[in-house]
Structure 1
């Protein structure tokens, strides 16, 4: 049992999806574990780069004390060769380490995108409370931001190595000076934690408002033709302008926090390094440091500005990654909209509703046997929606009174494959996707060209093939924008007929076509579903007289209850309200 949307089949991957992390910390830990080879290689090489860069001032200072001051040419040659080796290691380690780290980041971003998309497209659905545009933002922007967790940790470890090497070198030159650096750097990082928390909050607000604007834009674009038809474009533009303004204000706020944080890091590190350099100069004037040692201290103090500022940027990376990871965890841990069972369907998928109460429905009894074509007429659209939710298996079992069975098995006890294999619900708002007419018709089935053409004829849509030079390979634009509303509706119907499910449920499949085409569709659907072996059942929820006239019986729902049952002709004669509802 499924909807007619081909996306439901796209998530049927052979690989079992990984368990969703319960917390942001768990997501970060999993990120490091599944990229450990590249992360480890990147950390080692970037740490080697930072250590080599920290040793450059040491090499220059030793060259002055060992070769320049005493005038030893041989020592100068050895020092120059050693410095050349040091720079070679420095450059090679950075290039290779950055490549490993970037590969880990991109790989994790890909895995997170796939995981988010799998969760969003899971046939069981999800109850995260996120709109379609927000889910899109989480699966793209937030996945990329959360993957920066790899880069943050790699950079943090490499920068820590640089600070350790620098501190050891300063301790070797002068113990009090080295201790001052050893105490000063952690204190500086502790003070910078407070603005980092603000960045996390601002980043989360920024991502949330941006996702909201994306969701609204998605809704408006999908309904653009309707908005143009009712002349509501200006109101829609104003709504999007307001949402975009909120997103802009949040982005500016986040950028301001980031800018303030960077300014604080730069200013604090400059003051700290000025103190270190001033102290070293005073010690050189008093004769406690040689010329080479002074160069080492000043060079290390100047170099230390880079890892100290990098630590500040690492804090910003962690803050941004945590904000996006929190949104990812919300999606990945969202409860299922439907909780399926694991039972199989009977040989003949008889659909039966017995004493069912759900939403607006009250004590509904309805059976659909193989070979039948049954029409359902509702006076309240909510009754139709509730019925479709029941038949598609989206209703929560605890919310349903009575029983809904397929092949004698309760719907909530059937496995997903059994549900999809038994009943296909083609809803009124079925979507088409960019590609070709063939790819839209054949999705989820192994139907060949003759079967696809027959489905198009049954849906009165053969003109889409005969009237185009590319036939079934006719291109379909994004959201089928190059087709009219009636053409989109007929293609969706043809797709459902090509799938040839044991039980087909159609909801208002002819609302966008004229009366002549509607009559042709009614004939085609009835013929396509009749006389098949094994017998196929069809349920049409509609007010179309052309479709209802070909039904074996029509069930009339009034205020959620079954009021009348009979043939279309008999109901028209005996029930004036029915005739007024369906005849036009």
Structure 2
């Protein structure tokens, strides 16, 4: 019962926040049913105490120490023991409900984010997504935790209503009508509380986003002297969060004060009315004590109902944010296709642990219709552009990273007509910015868990990453810190290159794979890369002459369209002969060569 949810979290309805909450409740129906049953037993046991006290008092006043009094006392003891046991076990059930509600929500968001890629950060601030896991999921768990107590309180209220109406209709009506009126007054305070909680949640999300953006760009901010500006913005937003929090706290404090004041006034009124009826002989002394006990007891269901309304209000706000995250669709394919692609990678990893797949050659040309670039199979093609954004966009289209970016065909078939899992298996794109995670170097490289250590060393050899191994006493088992910060810029880039090579993809697209290394290292990588990928399709986005020298073909992009094609030496020779297209190519390459050396040296030091 206290185990956290495992396996796939499922596919909830995204029509309304309440629909998501209902779906989560159904997913943990057994845990909730257990907790609700015990909550009902506990509440009914507590509700029976005033009745048994009244019976015992009447028996004692009428008969003294008699069997009737002893039976009432024995029943009172039994009810107390049952209530205590139900309370203890019910608390375990409530904790289980919280765990399932909170962690299932967190896993829903986590699974979805990993399958939407850049689309999630394009549509929602990072802080907003983080807050759904760090805050909203816990509010949903809190609602699941108090739900059993709320149901138990409702059942106990009905039981007490039946009993008091049987004993005294006037006093029973006073209790049963007055209590809902008191609850209604408290419910009026919930709407402004909901509004202020939503405003506080929005302000907190913006503060988290601002903080994460500042930390991720801290090095740049220090370089341009912008720390003070961002610190001032953070302080300003922090004050907004504080002000919104004070607004929530003041409304919540008033609500909590009314939770004490209104039930107290209600109890005083019931006792006065009951005493008046007792003096007139309409109820006995024992019944008066019982009615007082009922009134005092019903204050607890009132608190539970009010608490549930508060928790439900917060959970609904959180569920709205969770739904907003879950509605984001990946830029390529659908969520179902992304999950199928992930499953295919996992299956490939399991099979690869026994026998790594042999390299295969694509069946035909890879053609980008937007630029007119045709990538021939089994060759290394370099893409050169004066505008790096154009060449990076081409690489993105070749890997079907965004279905709206433009049409690409593989052997005459549009990539969008192929299953996303097949595209991910056959075409792998390694971006310009290496993304590394915390963990062992072995895990960073062997993402499909094939267990082929010799292949790891071969990939590191091609990427000229021996210094990464020597910098870690544990070698492949050495730990890499978050985002690879324990490595230099050049080392991160070479680890990412080795990881890409280990995929053994039919078509491998590399975006600026050597931009952060020095010229000598770049020359070695270029030669080894061409040798290791011989006979397979490789696309390299670069303007470095050291890499272009080893390409089978070089394509120059101008304005996003193919302008010139040939080998590096052919294009340079044509430029000397006066070809304007080749001259444009030479201009891009020579300008890049002049800028590469100092930039690479600085990056390697970092």
Residues 200 and 322 in structure 1, CA contact (< 8 A), matched pair in contact too = no
Is 1:252 paired with 2:252? no
Which stretch of the first structure deviates more once superposed, 165-174 or 273-282? 165-174
TM-aligned CA deviation for residue 124 of structure 1: 6.8
- Say if 1:509 and 1:392 are closer, same or farther in 2 by CA, change over 3 A: same
1:406-485 equivalences in 2 (<5 Å) = 406-444=410-448, 446=450, 448-485=452-489
Stretches of structure 2 lacking an aligned partner (at least 5 in a row): 1-5, 345-359, 576-582, 595-606
Could you say which residue in structure 1 is the equivalent of 2:115? 122
Is 1:280 paired with 2:274? yes
Could you say which residue in structure 2 is the equivalent of 1:556? 556
| Secondary structure at the counterpart of residue 123 of structure 2 | coil
> What root-mean-square deviation, in Å, do the aligned CA atoms of Structure 1 and Structure 2 show?
2.5
TM-aligned CA deviation for residue 493 of structure 1: 1.0
| Secondary structure at the counterpart of residue 510 of structure 2 | strand
Which among 383, 387, 391 is matched to residue 376 of structure 1?
383
The CA distance in 1 between the partners of 2:7 and 2:276, in whole Å, is 70
Could you say which residue in structure 2 is the equivalent of 1:385? 392
TM-aligned CA deviation for residue 424 of structure 1: 0.7
- Say if 1:273 and 1:14 are closer, same or farther in 2 by CA, change over 3 A: closer
Could you say which residue in structure 1 is the equivalent of 2:566? 566
Residues 555 and 565 in structure 1, CA contact (< 8 A), matched pair in contact too = yes
1:52-67 equivalences in 2 (<5 Å) = 52-67=45-60
Which among 310, 313, 318 is matched to residue 312 of structure 2?
318
Is 1:206 paired with 2:213? no
Could you say which residue in structure 1 is the equivalent of 2:602? none
- Say if 1:152 and 1:195 are closer, same or farther in 2 by CA, change over 3 A: same
- Say if 1:15 and 1:103 are closer, same or farther in 2 by CA, change over 3 A: closer
| Secondary structure at the counterpart of residue 189 of structure 2 | helix
Residues 31 and 150 in structure 1, CA contact (< 8 A), matched pair in contact too = no
The CA distance in 1 between the partners of 2:7 and 2:28, in whole Å, is 22
Which stretch of the first structure deviates more once superposed, 425-434 or 226-235? 226-235
- Say if 1:15 and 1:304 are closer, same or farther in 2 by CA, change over 3 A: closer
Is 1:353 paired with 2:367? yes
Could you say which residue in structure 2 is the equivalent of 1:544? 544
The CA distance in 2 between the partners of 1:247 and 1:233, in whole Å, is 21
Could you say which residue in structure 2 is the equivalent of 1:189? 183
The CA distance in 2 between the partners of 1:335 and 1:467, in whole Å, is 41
Residues 262 and 313 in structure 1, CA contact (< 8 A), matched pair in contact too = no
1:170-181 equivalences in 2 (<5 Å) = 170-181=164-175
| Secondary structure at the counterpart of residue 192 of structure 1 | helix
TM-score between the two structures when normalised by the length of structure 1: 0.89
Which stretch of the first structure deviates more once superposed, 14-23 or 517-526? 14-23
Residues 51 and 162 in structure 1, CA contact (< 8 A), matched pair in contact too = yes
1:490-529 equivalences in 2 (<5 Å) = 490-529=494-533
Is 1:225 paired with 2:219? yes
Which among 400, 405, 409 is matched to residue 405 of structure 1?
409
- Say if 1:20 and 1:459 are closer, same or farther in 2 by CA, change over 3 A: farther
| Secondary structure at the counterpart of residue 505 of structure 2 | coil
Which stretch of the first structure deviates more once superposed, 473-482 or 403-412? 403-412
| Secondary structure at the counterpart of residue 179 of structure 1 | helix
Residues 349 and 422 in structure 1, CA contact (< 8 A), matched pair in contact too = no
- Say if 1:546 and 1:279 are closer, same or farther in 2 by CA, change over 3 A: same
TM-score between the two structures when normalised by the length of structure 2: 0.86
The CA distance in 2 between the partners of 1:349 and 1:463, in whole Å, is 38
Stretches of structure 1 lacking an aligned partner (at least 5 in a row): 1-12, 357-363
Structure possessing the higher relative contact order (Cα contacts under 8 Å, 6 or more residues apart)? 1
- Size of the alignment, in residue pairs? 557
The CA distance in 1 between the partners of 2:529 and 2:79, in whole Å, is 78
TM-aligned CA deviation for residue 87 of structure 1: 0.5
The CA distance in 1 between the partners of 2:13 and 2:43, in whole Å, is 35
CA offsets 1:38-90 (integer angstroms, 9 cap, x no match)? 21121121111111112212222211111245313433322221111010011
Could you say which residue in structure 2 is the equivalent of 1:366? 373
Residues 125 and 338 in structure 1, CA contact (< 8 A), matched pair in contact too = no
